[in-house]
Structure 1
Amino acid sequence: MPGAKADTASHLQRGPATGGWNWPATLAARGAAPLAPQHLRRRPQPPSSQRLHCFVLDCSGSMAAGGALARAKGVLLALMEQAYRRRERVALLSFAGTRVELRLPPRKAAAWNDDWVNAIGAGGGTPLGPAIAQAAQLLARGGGEGWLWLLTDGRARDWPARPAEAAQLRVVDFEQGRLRLGRAQALARAWGADCLRAEDWS
């Protein structure tokens, strides 16, 4: 029936800024009746301006070898450009040796050039645990929907637990060479996160 199809479409598209299905609200609206399109409810989605992307950049010695860090900086700039176009907020942490540095406190994304990332050096170990802990603190204080992006080759000794403060997690894998250990992919699996390859930005 044409009328029934139009009614279904109108309910499926309810609200321009919505998230996934809100099943508790849907079942409450249904009551004891059979499930019908008019019962469907969606979760509200925060405005994009409330989203905070926290980028965590691995600057360890293994990332410096073979140009992985240079590629990671390029990907970082591309991601920040996307955030700028969507009027979202960004933050940047870098980690290497025994230090974690807050390179960019949470703020609205701006138009970037590569001058400021060129100065980020590399060398030493991979203090991944402290870096993720600091990122979790930034996301907890940031409000809105927190996204954590880890740009790394995965060659860290410690595997921190999945940060509960991150609504979304992305691991970008920069491991290169013939012998690949797949640690970034394994970490993403342990976190239940998406793992993207550096080659995806080529």
Structure 2
Amino acid sequence: MRKAESGVLHCVVLDCSGSMLKRRSLSLAKGLLTRWSARIYRERGELMVIGFSGSRAHVLRHPGKAIAFNERWIRPIEGGGASPATSGMALAERILASVKRKTPGKATFLWFLSDGRFDPLPECPRYADTIGLVDFESASVPLGRMSRLAMQWSASYQRAEDMARVER
């Protein structure tokens, strides 16, 4: 493998829906994203972020070298509306497929941050080498979708509350 083809791309798929906003989970997710992006910068990795809410998914940060100071683009991320998780995952899959075609040696990590308040369940991304799910579910009647996805996708699973304690 040539040096130009190596490296790591972290893809964060962020649920920006109304339920994440209402339960203040989006704020917690943005805090985690800020800390992660600083760590990815120190490790000389690459970062891309996809947000989904309302009726669509959109790129919040295109794939590229992580930068040192990220509050400027993370703080203004807004939330509200529905949870088109399938659109978010489909957009991530298209971009990761393109990255893999251009740089086949690049390791890809996909992190899915959501409260699981979506339907239908998205398909497992094929172009992510490693997948981690962070569950922000805090409703009194849990749906358990993120833990179900983690089992279906053979992905790592963590509750956001536990992860936030460790990240501090």
TM over 0.5: yes
Match for residue 57 of structure 2 among 90, 96, 100: 100
Equivalent residues, number? 158
Aligned residues of 1:48 and 1:88 also touching (Cα < 8 A): no
- 1:175 counterpart residue number: 137
How far 1:50 sits from its partner (Å)? 1.2
- The equivalent position to 1:111 in structure 2, one of 61, 68, 90, is 68
Identify the match of residue 90 of structure 1 among 26, 47, 63.
47
**1:57: which partner in 2?**
14
1:197 corresponding residue in structure 2: 159
Select the structure of larger CA radius of gyration: 1
On the 8 A contact 1:171/1:194 being kept in 2, the answer is yes
* Unaligned ranges ≥5, structure 2: none
1:96 partner letter: S
- Identity of aligned pairs, percent? 38
Cα distance in 1 between the residues matched to 2:74 and 2:21: 14
1:123 equivalent in alignment to 2:80:
yes
Shift of 1:48: 10
**How do 1:6-45 residues align onto structure 2 when only pairs under 5 Å count?**
none
| CA RMSD between the two structures | 1.9
2:148: which partner in 1? 186
- The DSSP-based 3-state class of the residue aligned with 2:158 is strand
> Residue deviations 1:111-144, cap 9 Å, x none?
1242321211111111111111110111112231
8 Å CA contact 1:155, 1:184 repeated in 2: no
Which structure has the higher relative contact order (CA within 8 Å, separation 6+)? 2
Distance 1:66 1:100 in 2: 21
- For 1:70 and 1:53, locate their aligned partners in 2 and report how far apart those are by CA, in whole Å: 20
User: Could you list the per-position Cα deviations for residues 2-32 of structure 1 after superposition, in whole angstroms to 9, with x for gaps in the alignment?
Assistant: xxxxxxxxxxxxxxxxxxxxxxxxxxxxxxx
Task: Give the alignment's TM-score, normalised by structure 2.
Answer: 0.87
